Amino acid sequence: MGDSDEEDGACWEGASSSSSEGEVPVPLAEEVEIGEPVAKKRKKKSAAELAEAAAWRRSRVAIHQAQLVATCCRLRLASEWCGEEMVVEAARALVPAQVVSRLKAAARGETSTRGAWNAVAQALRRARKERSGMRLGSEPATLARHALRGELDASEAAQVACALALSVGLDARLVVGTDPVACRRGRSPKPGFEVWARVGDCGVDRRFAYVIEYADGAWADITGDCQGVVPDKRRLPKSDRAWWPRTLAALNGGSARMSTGASLPGSRGAFRDHPAYALRSTLSKRERVDQTASSVGLFRGEPVYRRADVQTLRTQREWLRHFRRVREGEEGPLYGIDQTDEWTPDPVGDDGSLPVNAYGEIDVVDGDPNLVPKGAVWFKGDDAHKVAKALDLPRARVMVGWERDPSASRLTHSSSARPPRPKRDGVIVAERHAPALRAALEDHERRRHAAQRDAHQRRQALRWAKVVTKLLSRARLRAEYL
């Protein structure tokens, strides 16, 4: 439904009922005052509905992320194809010679770049042909054929313009504005993209969720540069928002440039979830500003910092999951990354000794198999510990976390009445002892199944004995008394 329909609907819903003909007055309840709004109770969602909503959100986030990665990969190919000699020759054959001369003069600084660029756009406009199913760029052979025939779509025209600008020495690059599928329910733009060539400033008439460019072998999010603001509600949710800069950094080999616009939020509350700026007073207890960070402005007298300078604080065990260990001497329940060092689990010694902690155990945080020491094997389950103990093998219990006694919470009606206890799962042994323990566990499993089968057969025999005894007793009683 369009905006006009929504406005008409809103006016219709807000219209006074006194204007309708044949109105029947309805008596008001005594306790309700005239003009008092009637609050509508929100229907509480069931567990199944909540699970369905969570599954829908996860699937949409996954599709959103996949579309971003695919767009980045295709943008790189389209940008690299602009440098092909076949494409450059087709572009020069398509654009008049005087336009190419103006571009060369702009590259030497003798004339305005904007005027020369407008001339290129006007020349390419005559060679445009709209086609259904537009894709992000075309390979060199297809691009050159469409250029010579004057059948370029919008993305191919951007490629030709970029190729022409690069050939005369101008700093040009391809830019794509994209709207992946929405991660939230409700009205949202139809998924799609638009491609254009950028020389100098970037400006767009339509606002996209992401504006990405590829230049000098790296991707950059320039949404803020082109639009002034970033439409956060059309991007990833807050809980998944850190995925995008991490992915850009991984694609670029460790660095990511994110442009989020220059405008500061207008209220203190807006700083809490803002992707670019933060205030110390709005940070959570698990966040803090980097000690080396410098402020970028003031908001009502309070320094404003970049969101990139905000550190996430974690506990010692949480840092182990990120393969970092808190340095000795650091105090506090939560620690920043500047209080940790890179860490890898100590390997098994040459003599087969296991790297245990002060309690003779090995920490495998949250059961992450990557934290198992090199040269060791983890056997899960209580049976593994019993069999290894029976064989008297060098072993170490595995601590995977903490748990509370469920019986204590039922008796005291409080889950925090008793402190949590260590949660253990199996044992770790050196690789040299793994074959013996594995064979013993298989034998133990066979004997356990055999014992269970014998116990089951004994129980069945006892049940049949009871049935036969009752039948004999009934037969005897009938014979005596009937």
- Delimit the domains of the chain by residue range: 51-263, 264-312, 313-342, 344-405+418-454
What is the arithmetic mean of pLDDT over 244-265? 70
pLDDT digits (tens, 9 = 90+) for 129-175: 766 666 788 888 888 888 888 878 888 888 888 888 888 888 788 88
What is the arithmetic mean of pLDDT over 399-406? 78
> Between residues 467 and 323, which one has the greater pLDDT?
467
pTM of the model: 0.50
Burial (Cβ within 10 Å: 0-12, 13-18, ≥19) of residue 312: middle
CATH of the domain spanning 344-405+418-454? 3.30.70.2460
What is the arithmetic mean of pLDDT over 229-243? 74
First to last CA, the chain: 86
Residue 387, pLDDT > 90, answer yes
pLDDT for position 463? 94
pLDDT digits (tens, 9 = 90+) for 31-74: 434 444 555 566 777 878 888 888 888 898 899 999 999 989 98
The CATH architecture to which 264-312 belongs is Single Sheet (2.20)
pLDDT for position 131? 66
Residue 26, pLDDT > 70, answer no
pLDDT for position 464? 95
Alpha-carbon distances of 148 from 49, 78, 86, rounded to whole Å:
56, 18, 11
Alpha-carbon distances of 165 from 81, 100, 174, 202, 214, rounded to whole Å:
14, 9, 11, 15, 15
CA pair distance 266, 301, nearest whole angstrom? 14
Mean pLDDT, all residues of the chain: 79
pLDDT for position 3? 43
Domain 51-263, CATH number (from 3.30.230.70, 3.90.260.10, 3.30.9.60, 3.40.50.300)? 3.90.260.10
Residues 31, 37, 43, CA angle at the centre, nearest 5°? 100
